[in-house]
Chain A
């Protein structure tokens, strides 16, 4: 058995173990606790919501160290608000998630039952506030059988119960939402929602870290060549596309139905795999293999985005194609923006210090996500993640700045022994980039 095969076998075993670990407890614990409710009042420019949670059920959803008493009241309140925020998404007809502002945290005991209510103001951002898809799975994602009724009050004071959030239905559409979604909208949805998901991007970017390098046994050999790097990137991106397209279509058309929680955990795990691979090659030339394998998992999550948009079940092949195209465009945009910097850095970063540092950061993020998604702890890097995702331009600029700094410093120090770039053709665009920035 070669190293590569052994590693591949180990990878497969790890994947299976993760799946079993995540799926089994989710199906075994099915006891109903007092249900939650989400009351939404439609206003002129947005929604006013009140979310009511039974503390007993919330405690069951939280890990022991997040329970009341273990932390200060303020910290608990912040945790609850962050948790609810994470599990409530309202998307308007523009395809954008509306901004939520939480307030008025009230914890009280009524007739022996402790409840927490929080108010949320949801800004429609110029969209029609009566037309949206609302996704809510707080507690539901963790406690089998828990559900939450949606009580909707129109601007005219007409109250209705459009549906119940449950394990099988976490998104409800209100108004004309999604019925008028065209192909262009679908491209936009695909584009934006991939850009909003830090995990998908981090997986891809981390997998591209070693693109300019060659795996030599269990180490990366430093041999950056632009032509080869570009080919590698194309291979990885294509492989990822193939993988996620298969499962996106299969899931959107209802051929497969995988619960979202294990998928989310596996996606976090995929980042870890590509991070480890960036530090030390797991599979020689195996980035496309990793990309296609985990692309299958990411595709399931993209199908979940369609569900969150309330578009599942009525998606035509054309709409799916358009959505997938949006995802590709987002991938290509990210790759195009980051690759020059990554390549520049790789040229000078002979010892792989920066690559390793980046991979370690990705690994840390993936571990944080995994623990969060397994319900062990709340995502400690959520604020950083949010900041990065909200300012993609700054991420690109920062990386470019690092690339310039590295190039400039190493040029100064290593100019005498410069012939790192052994391909003159490759060297020109790199130098041009360095000068321009």
Chain B
């Protein structure tokens, strides 16, 4: 990648200016980058109720930056207050403002955010984070295993400087919806809670041990992918022109409920509640179709199981009442709605159209008060969701593994960006 004008400006700024000014320069660059597409598209109805990313300029360490974000986002989710904190940072405000219009293609904002991130890096870092789009191995190199059991490539979050961390959050925010962003930060933040309890023996946990890789060059026309992930959450996003896929992604958490600066965070709580709501709505006949076993099972198409489809098992959407179908759709929306609002509308339309042919299956106890964890699976022509309480390493209710796939469009296969 040739250094752009912005790269050169930023590098010069890094060399000659004090830290505060460097940040301002970066912010200015990003703001310019982000405002250009917005201006060009002529869209002046910019949402102001977007999730504000308050990556405080005063945050002293990488970990606390992530924790602040997680807490902020989660607080908004639980209290319903939009923009709970004031955004003093121009970068964040701009990013937030441009990322959440449903009518406009999200890709330019995603590309701009990714370029801003790349701009924030040193040459060495940029070399480390960028991979060829043809690097199929790297495209699939992700896992839910913690650091120490699995080797990831790219740049580690904990090693990024604060500017780059902020810029990366901007990328996540551009690709994800508000709910998706909140959820991912919640899952990610849980790793710090896990590290604090030392629940994992001699393995390394914590938000620092998450990795970023950009495969292909951020482009509004050519295909590229980014990976962000570590223990219990991975987002694989593939972008080609206006098309965006965030499958396969790993959606897990441990602990499932934790405290962050006084706020109780349950990142996958609504998913589990909505799954129970659907299960609870089933009559005995429907239950006998949906419940396939009384003990938990593990993910069947987890990390490393790319390129597979899942047999229709459980109860079909066609055998659900209209109300029950709505409950299924609500459950699915937690996954279909991970991606930004613009791309999610097409995605959800696709999933809703195939609801009759979408199956819901359950393993494990059916009574929420049983407290021994659940497994559910949603599978349809264009979706596989698995949610699996893990017996290992503590209570299955507190340790969730999950996967979100589109058998037709993992890694953007449907729009020609798939693994070759």
Name A residues whose Cβ lies closer than 8 Å to a Cβ of B.
32, 34-35, 37, 54, 109-113, 147, 149, 151, 153-154, 157-161, 163-164
Contacts and interface: CB of A to CB of B under 8 A. Distances in A.
Contacts of B146: 111
B297 A37 contact: yes
Contact of A161 (B145, B300, B390, B391): B300
A163 B363 CA distance: 11
B310 A159 contact: yes
B308 A157 contact: yes
A34 B300 contact: no
Contacts of A161: 292-293, 297, 300, 313, 363
B217 to A, nearest CB: 31
Nearest to B149: A110
Interface string B291-326: 011011110110001011111010000000000000
Contact of B311 (A34, A110, A147, A159): A159
B201 interface: yes
Contacts of B308: 153, 157-159
B293 A164 contact: yes
A267 B293 CA distance: 33
B311 A158 contact: yes
Given A34-B391, A112-B201, A112-B393, A160 B311 contact: yes
A111 B391 contact: no
A151 B392 CA distance: 19
Nearest to A109: B201
Contacts, number: 66
Given A110-B149, A111-B146, A159 B309 contact: yes
Among B292, B307, B392, the one with the most A-chain Cβ atoms within 10 Å of its Cβ is B392
B200 interface: yes
Interface of B: 145-146, 149, 199-201, 203, 292-293, 295-298, 300-301, 305, 307-311, 313, 363, 390-393
A343 to B, nearest CB: 55
Nearest to B390: A111
Given A35-B391, A147-B295, A160-B311, A111 B200 contact: yes
B350 to A, nearest CB: 21
Contacts of B363: 149, 161, 164
Given A35-B295, A111-B200, A160 B393 contact: no
Among A32, A110, A111, the one with the most B-chain Cβ atoms within 10 Å of its Cβ is A111
A113 B201 CA distance: 10
27 contacts: A35-B295, A35-B296, A35-B391, A109-B201, A110-B149, A111-B200, A111-B390, A111-B392, A111-B393, A113-B392, A113-B393, A149-B293, A149-B297, A153-B308, A157-B307, A157-B308, A158-B308, A158-B311, A159-B301, A159-B308, A159-B310, A160-B300, A160-B310, A160-B311, A161-B292, A163-B293, A164-B297
Given A110-B392, A164-B293, 10 more contacts: A32-B295, A34-B391, A35-B295, A111-B201, A112-B392, A113-B393, A151-B300, A154-B311, A158-B310, A164-B297
Contacts of A32: 295
Contact of B145 (A110, A112, A149): A110
Nearest to B396: A34
A5 to B, nearest CB: 50
Contacts of B293: 149, 161, 163-164
Contacts of A35: 295-297, 391
A171 to B, nearest CB: 16
Nearest to A164: B293
Among A158, A159, A163, the one with the most B-chain Cβ atoms within 10 Å of its Cβ is A159
B203 to A, nearest CB: 7
Q: Shortest 9 CB-CB distances between A and B: which pairs?
A: A160-B311, A113-B392, A111-B393, A149-B297, A157-B308, A164-B293, A112-B393, A34-B391, A159-B300
Among A35, A151, A161, the one with the most B-chain Cβ atoms within 10 Å of its Cβ is A161
A109 B393 CA distance: 11
A158 B393 contact: no
A362 to B, nearest CB: 41
A147 B199 CA distance: 26
A157 B145 CA distance: 24
Nearest to B194: A111
Given A151-B300, A159-B300, A111 B203 contact: yes
Nearest to B202: A109
A160 B314 CA distance: 11
Contacts of B309: 157-159
Nearest to A157: B308
Contacts of A154: 311
Nearest to B301: A159
B202 to A, nearest CB: 9
A53 to B, nearest CB: 13
B380 to A, nearest CB: 14
A147 B292 CA distance: 14
B392 A160 contact: no
A37 B375 CA distance: 15
Contacts of A151: 297, 300
A158 B300 CA distance: 11
B390 to A, nearest CB: 8
B313 A160 contact: yes
A164 B392 contact: no
A345 to B, nearest CB: 55
Contacts of B295: 32, 35, 147, 164
Contacts of B301: 159
Contact of A34 (B145, B203, B313, B392): B392
Nearest to A41: B308
B330 to A, nearest CB: 25
A154 B310 CA distance: 10
A223 B199 CA distance: 76
Contacts of A112: 199-201, 392-393
B305 A159 contact: yes
A153 B311 CA distance: 9
A159 B377 CA distance: 12
B415 to A, nearest CB: 21
A154 B311 CA distance: 10
B232 to A, nearest CB: 10
Contacts of B199: 112
A49 B291 CA distance: 25
Nearest to B205: A111
A214 to B, nearest CB: 58
A149 B295 CA distance: 9
A112 B296 CA distance: 19
Nearest to A150: B297
Nearest to A166: B295
Nearest to A160: B311
A46 B383 CA distance: 30
Contacts of A157: 307-309
Contacts of A109: 201
